[in-house]
Structure 1
């Protein structure tokens, strides 16, 4: 498994361009390292409403084609709420602190990332590996 990390500064939202990615790598998945600074009560689409405690979270997703576009979409403030992660990222005290791209599957990233399941089914609607959730709390 190969990985590449990008630190994200709250003041300056870094854009990841395809030219920054090693061309010989097949980047297919990503992990967003997320910080929640205050308690947030968030309605997550059809999953329902949930309490997110302050702490550090990790979310893993995939984008077999156009991974830089997917990650940059997550980094944007203004966007249509489409995926579960969009609802969390729209909350005022939530920010992405780091992005990791990987050649491994998103399910492998979830398995190796550790942490506790926060919302069952979060980001895992189409998961066939019984991950339970692609969002984990690392320090809540």
Structure 2
């Protein structure tokens, strides 16, 4: 069975302001609102998204810390060919939206030059992948 590869975005809602640790990055303030996390899975896209949706997991990625305190409202995925990396471009599309900010430098972006793969919005945004797959 061929494993799907691609990029995904999680739309996350945080109901109240929180101060929480994010692994080795440190402790950060997260204002209530909406967060979009853009990630990739080059070997098991469905499994990666299912893991994020699960409530029982060991903390491995930065996003695991935020998901413990918040809820995923919805997600979008886009498959891609081997060697094609769409993650940073999709993240840049989110950052270009009105009201976007990056609350934690280095969040989910330790393997690229992006400031962060977590984008904050006070109001619920559309997902860049929704437009890409429509």
More helix by share: 2
> When the two structures are aligned, how many residues end up with a matched partner?
113
**Residue deviations 1:71-103, cap 9 Å, x none?**
000000110000000011011xx1000111024
Q: Taking structure 1 as the reference length, what is the TM-score of the superposition? A: 0.75
- CA deviation profile, 1:99-128 (whole Å, cap 9, x unmatched): 11024611011011122111000000111x
- Runs of at least 5 residues in structure 2 that lack an aligned partner in the other structure: 124-134
1:21-100 to 2 correspondences below 5 Å: 27-91=5-69, 94-100=70-76
Tell me how large the CA RMSD over aligned residues is: 1.8
Distance 1:109 1:59 in 2: 10
Which position in structure 1 is the counterpart of 2:132?
none
The reply to whether residue 117 of structure 1 matches residue 95 of structure 2 is no
1:50 CA drift (Å):
0.5
Give the CA deviation at 1:27. Answer: 4.6
Query: Which of 92, 100, 107 does residue 88 from structure 2 map onto?
Result: 107
Question: Which 4+ runs in 1 deviate beyond 2 A?
Answer: none
For residue 132 of structure 1, what is the aligned residue in structure 2?
Answer: 115
Mapped contact 1:45–1:84 kept (Cα < 8 A): yes
* Unmatched runs of 5 consecutive residues or more in structure 1: 1-22
